[in-house]
Amino acid sequence: MSPVSRRQSLACLAASAASALGLAPQPAQASAQAWTRVLEQARGQTVYFNAWGGAPTINAFIEWAGEQLLRRFGVRLVHVKVSDAADVVKRVRNEKAAGKADGSVDLVWINGENFLTMKREALLFGPFAEQLPSFAYVDTAGKPTTRIDFSEPVDGMEAPWGMAQLTFMADAKRVPHPPRDLEAWLTFATQHPGRCTYPRPPDFHGTTFIKQMLLDLTPKAQHGVFYLPVQTEEFARMSAPLWRSLEAVHPSLWRQGRQFPNSAATQRQMMSDGELLMGLTFNPNEVANEIAANRLAASTVSFQFSGGTIGNTHFLAIPVNARSSAGAQVVANFFLSPQAQARKADIAIWGDPTVLDVRRLAPADQSSFKTKLQAGQLSASAPTLPEPHGSWVQPLEQEWLRRYGG
């Protein structure tokens, strides 16, 4: 019997004896014991973390985390760089269908329709998220999307990692009065032919932009339908104003709406080069991050629609057939720790907003989140509009591609 197995057996015997004597541990003690077992099981494991690999800042953060995890917990983190989380979902599905108990994915960075698919198809390990020690610091009250993913209850099947909200950018020297609502954006695009656009769906930035349009073009009293699973008849009726608006504005966009940038990063570069007047991002701190890295002019500003923009939480999930599920939990817990969250939120490192309630942290940890407002950073966020239910994504993308995909 291995040392770990022996300790586990002794712990079980001790728990049984304590229960028989009426001395069963309190929930907090039981939770601590359970987490100790997870740490013991994780030591020596390799965790294959499938995550987007398109940003050097994010890749560097994950590399730093890997160094910390190996030194502190004996867990080796391997960043498997992917371009689309949907490909990871397909791989997990195929491995499960083939009966592969030791899958190739231990941890995946997902949210939205990919989470919905994995949850519905029983492709997820858990629930585990709210048993992580660091989850105690998550701001579930102030940031309800840490428990709701695209209108789908998380149910502990994925751990929150960071916050996001649709944010626009422009060089204040070229655009001194940026548009503050969709109507103004559409008017601005019409008045500046060829200088505005959005990323091509199914790039998630492009899809988010057309979801923003969908919400803004629909009276708020009718928004409830977007937070329920999509129905064919409702989709046709509720999306009709979106397609009418796009038909009207596309001729005024870059290349007359016949072509679109393949990503928000491409659009941002086109803006930096002066070809476009505006860009967009899902990270409210990205402009500040890019200015700090000398990739955007210091006069670039961030802005959001005053009535609100779509926001969500991005998560970490463990596949049901993960080879190193204990190690994956240790990684997720570390990513939720105040140290990792503060580093991730640092403009100079990544600038990804934290999921934690900083006010509940120890004073020393709180201080690590306090930084001066940086050039390009939002001084105040607009209201967050919840994401429509994840089932709306595929029909929107398919219809957009049918109409404009060429």
**∠ CA(173), CA(174), CA(177), 5° rounding?**
85
> What's the pLDDT score for residue 65?
98
Q: 274: which residues sit within 8 A by CB, 6+ positions away?
A: 174
Give the three-state DSSP class for 86.
helix
> How far apart (Å, rounded) are the C-alpha atoms in residues 260 and 37?
51
> What's the pLDDT score for residue 376?
83
DSSP-assigned letters across all residues of 154-165: -TTSEEEEEEEE
Token reading at 301:
């500003």
Output the 3-class SS for 335-387.
Answer: HCCHHHHHHHHCCCCCCCCCCECHHHCCHHHHHCCCCCCCCCCCCCCCCEEEC
Give the three-state DSSP class for 111.
coil
Q: 261: which residues sit within 8 A by CB, 6+ positions away?
A: 197, 198, 199, 200, 254, 267, 270
* Distance linking the first and last C-alpha atoms of the chain: 63
User: Which pairing describes strands 384-386 and 309-317: parallel, antiparallel, or unpaired?
Assistant: parallel
Backbone angles phi, psi at 201, to 5 degrees: -60, 145
> What's the pLDDT score for residue 348?
86
> How far apart (Å, rounded) are the C-alpha atoms in residues 291 and 298?
6
Residue 19: Cβ within 10 Å count: 11
Class of domain 3-162+313-367: alpha beta
Mean pLDDT, the chain cut into blocks of 10 residues (406 residues total): 38 33 43 94 98 91 98 98 94 96 96 95 97 96 94 96 97 97 98 98 96 97 96 96 98 97 96 97 92 93 97 97 98 98 93 95 92 82 93 96 93
The listed CATH number (3.40.190.10, 3.40.50.720, 3.20.20.60, 3.40.50.1820) that belongs to domain 167-311+382-404: 3.40.190.10
Token reading at 98:
């083939």
Q: What is the dihedral of CA 215, 218, 222, 224, to 10 degrees?
A: -10
> What's the pLDDT score for residue 28?
58
Boundaries of every domain in the chain = 3-162+313-367, 167-311+382-404
- The answer to whether domain 3-162+313-367 and domain 167-311+382-404 are alike in fold is yes
> What's the pLDDT score for residue 29?
59
